[in-house]
Chain A
Amino acid sequence: MSVDILMPALSPTMEEGTLAKWHVKVGDTVKAGDVIAEIETDKATMEVEAVDEGVIEALLVEAGTEGVKVNSLIARLSGENTASASAPEPVQAARVEPRAVSPSTTVQTVLADPELPEGTTFIKQTVRDALRDAMAEEMRADDRVYLMGEEVAQYQGAYKVSRDLLQEFGPRRVIDTPITEHGFAGLGVGSAMAGLKPIVEFMTWNFAMQAIDQIINSAAKTLYMSGGQIKSSIVFRGPNGAASRVGAQHSQDYSAWYANVPGLKVVAPYDAADAKGLLKAAIRDPNPVVFLEHEMMYGGRVRRAPDRRPYCTHRQGQGTPPRPARNHHRPFAHGGLGSQGGGAVDARGDRGRGD
């Protein structure tokens, strides 16, 4: 009797990953706890341990295969403690479609976009890397821009959005904070009042409820109350909305809350191109910007980031209301929530716009 070994998930939202390495070969005897393989996503690497004793009967996915679906069969273990007399030949990963990822891959047409210069080509990129590149480019261009938040530096970002930034910019500009949202949001706003351009990362927007007073009462209102003297050029960013099986405290969507606050700009990008362009625009913006990302989109390669476009401008109907009163679009789902609302768009038979 044999035991199936399935591709494990590294996180609640992981759907597929790379089987980087096998530590065993067919015929090896393993016991529970032995490391048998390494798997990777663009966010993390994990060792896979055997959960039963037995002999490796078959390795069904080749090392180095990308795009292996969670819960697909990757190996088989014989339940007997003796080597099988007739070990089957390793099976090629026929069921798994490996996905080649190459930055040079070009795509001819995506969506009509009047702002794209003639001849713009697109690269494949995850939303996660697009966000990181946006921050890195703005930090290279302007010494006043710095990143602060929990686990943004040494840990490389709780969701790996800030990967490699510490290495490039050092601890002066990539600052790990204690778990103290109210405090570091206030420090960020204060430093913005003194002329810096902070990017404050919240591990999730749910935790920013600890800091909402500083976002609204200090960042959003001080320009008005000072008669235009004190500005807060600051970006608050992090994942927003429902992720997968994380409970009500980690699932809230704050877009409507913040969109009701005069003085704040609220942005919820969908794909990698919007994520990069809108984050660069948000960092340059002289106003406080609430930048709502989506955890389940970080690994998504929904659309591609253009390889040369300085940055997107704010556009109506993309979750970016520069003047809330003039925003006539009422998208019923936006940002990462758009991917979950897709079925409903189809059911309505329209583009999901209310007007």
Chain B
Amino acid sequence: MARARKSVEVAKTANSQKDLLKFYRDMLLMRRFEERAGQLYGMGLIGGFCHLYIGQEAIAVGMQSIQIKGDQIITGYRDHGHMLAAGMDPREVMAELTGRSGGSSRGKGGSMHMFSIERGFFGGHGIVGAQVSLGTGLALANQYKANGNVAFVYFGDGAANQGQVYESFNMASLWKLPVVYVVENNQYAMGTSIERSSSETHLHRRGVSFNIPGEEVDGMDVEAVREAGSRAAAHARDGHGPYILEMKTYRYRGHSMSDPAKYRTKEEVDEVKKTRDPIDHLREVLDAKGWADEAAYKAIDGEVKAIVADAAEFARTSPEPDPAELYTDVYLEAAQ
């Protein structure tokens, strides 16, 4: 089968100064964006669900860096970071959070349901685990069209216990579909720790009985994510079938906005923030290489703050959807 494009494996040491500065900027944008979303939620401008990505930024940024045009991304409900990584407009994402007509789904989807076919972002899904079957279907379409693209399918340690995940693993391996499964193991499915929910806590081993290779990755290290991601993508793109990456990560905030925080200690959260933070870690790498000085950090800070302030202002002032929108996009007209 003719494959249009090839993945290139990226060694961890091969990242340029430009790459690392971009990763730093992208992760910082996610962090500041999510902090502002939390603030808007507190002000009542965002309602319903709002699952923040703070702490997990290295995964979306590192994985995005190895994708090629036409590759697809699909994830669950903790999706804001992935949308920003895919290049969706922060204004449209924030305005969708506030339910406004300027939102990426015109105010009809909310936090968990945003999409951009142009950017290869297929949602944003609120049923835990459903995106794994859907994403495997995206991979099936890639194989059917022989377009050389890979589907990157994200799910959490909670979704890893859903039955359809394994139904999908089986078919993906059986048919050698071009799919990379990325488990964002942040250790807690809502309030249930992985030790309390999973008989096999090493989730990269979950593909063993389907003959799917898997590896554990430090999901707090963007360069490690990029390196492992490039290896997995090359495997899938070259016709060898699915690959599982278990990203060990941590969510700093609650599951959603009303989280009692009784299931883990404040000390545990503080310890991760202090010792494993993905943004601080990358800053140490940049400092050690002498690739950024205070002025450079300040410039990135300023740019990110301006983007987030602009997005928040847009999300606050974009009009509410017309009530008539309730009746649109339910059916498409059939051509006769």
List chain A positions with a Cβ less than 8 A from chain B. Answer: 146, 172, 177-178, 180, 182-196, 213-214, 217-218, 222-231, 262-263, 265, 281, 284-287, 313-314, 322-323
Contacts and interface: CB of A to CB of B under 8 A. Distances in A.
B334 interface: yes
With most chain A CB atoms within 10 A of its CB, the pick from B104, B330, B331, B332 is B331
With most chain A CB atoms within 10 A of its CB, the pick from B107, B115, B134, B171 is B134
B315 interface: no
Nearest to B147: A194
A193 B171 contact: no
Contacts of A286: 332-335
Contacts of A172: 144
Contact of A228 (B137, B139, B167, B329): B329
Interface stretch (B2-10, B30-38, B117-125): B117-125
B122 A218 contact: no
B330 A177 contact: no
Contacts of A214: 130, 133-134
Q: Kindly list the 6 A-B residue pairs having the minimum CB-CB distance in the complex, ordered from nearest.
A: A190-B137, A186-B133, A183-B167, A194-B141, A227-B106, A190-B134
B332 A190 contact: no
B172 to A, nearest CB: 9
Contact of B116 (A180, A223, A229, A285): A229
Contact of B332 (A178, A287, A313): A287
Nearest to B112: A225
A229 to B, nearest CB: 5
Given A183-B170, A190-B122, 19 more contacts: A183-B168, A184-B171, A186-B130, A186-B133, A186-B136, A186-B164, A186-B167, A186-B168, A190-B141, A194-B137, A195-B141, A196-B141, A217-B126, A218-B134, A222-B115, A225-B109, A229-B115, A229-B116, A263-B330
A224 B167 contact: no
Contact of A186 (B72, B123, B134, B329): B134
A281 B130 CA distance: 28
Contact of B334 (A182, A184, A185, A314): A314
B93 to A, nearest CB: 13
Contacts of A213: 127, 130
Residues of B in contact with A, size category: 35 or more
B142 interface: yes
Contacts of A217: 126-127, 130
Contacts of A287: 331-332, 334
Contacts of B138: 190-191, 193-194
A329 B116 CA distance: 40
Contacts of A218: 125, 127, 130, 134
Contacts of A227: 103-109, 329
A286 B329 CA distance: 12
B163 interface: yes
B135 interface: yes
Contacts of B220: none
B171 A187 contact: yes
B113 interface: yes
A192 B138 CA distance: 8
Given A196-B141, A213-B127, A281 B334 contact: yes
A217 B113 CA distance: 12
Contact of A196 (B104, B114, B144): B144
A172 B142 CA distance: 12
B328 interface: yes
A315 to B, nearest CB: 13
B133 A190 contact: yes
B137 A262 contact: no
Nearest to B139: A190
Contacts of A224: 108, 329-330
B95 to A, nearest CB: 11
A128 B241 CA distance: 36
Contact of B115 (A188, A230, A265): A230
Interface string B306-336: 0000000000000000000000111111111
Given A182-B163, A194-B141, A223-B330, A189 B108 contact: no
A223 B115 CA distance: 10
A256 to B, nearest CB: 19
Nearest to B109: A225
A185 B125 CA distance: 16
Nearest to B132: A186
A73 B114 CA distance: 66
A218 to B, nearest CB: 6
B136 A187 contact: yes
Contact of B144 (A146, A183, A193, A231): A146
B135 A190 contact: yes
A194 B142 contact: yes
Contacts of B144: 146, 172, 191, 196
B261 interface: no
Contacts of A195: 141
A286 B335 CA distance: 8
B170 A190 contact: no
A196 B331 CA distance: 18
A287 B331 CA distance: 6
Nearest to B118: A229
A226 B123 contact: yes
9 contacts: A180-B167, A180-B170, A180-B171, A187-B134, A187-B137, A226-B114, A229-B116, A230-B122, A284-B335
A287 B334 CA distance: 8
B174 interface: yes
Interface in B56-78: 72, 74
A65 B168 CA distance: 48
B180 interface: no
A189 B168 CA distance: 13
Given A194-B72, A262-B330, A222 B167 contact: no
A111 B167 CA distance: 47
B158 to A, nearest CB: 16
Contacts of B109: 225-227
Contacts of A263: 330-331
A187 B141 CA distance: 9
A192 to B, nearest CB: 7
A338 B142 CA distance: 42
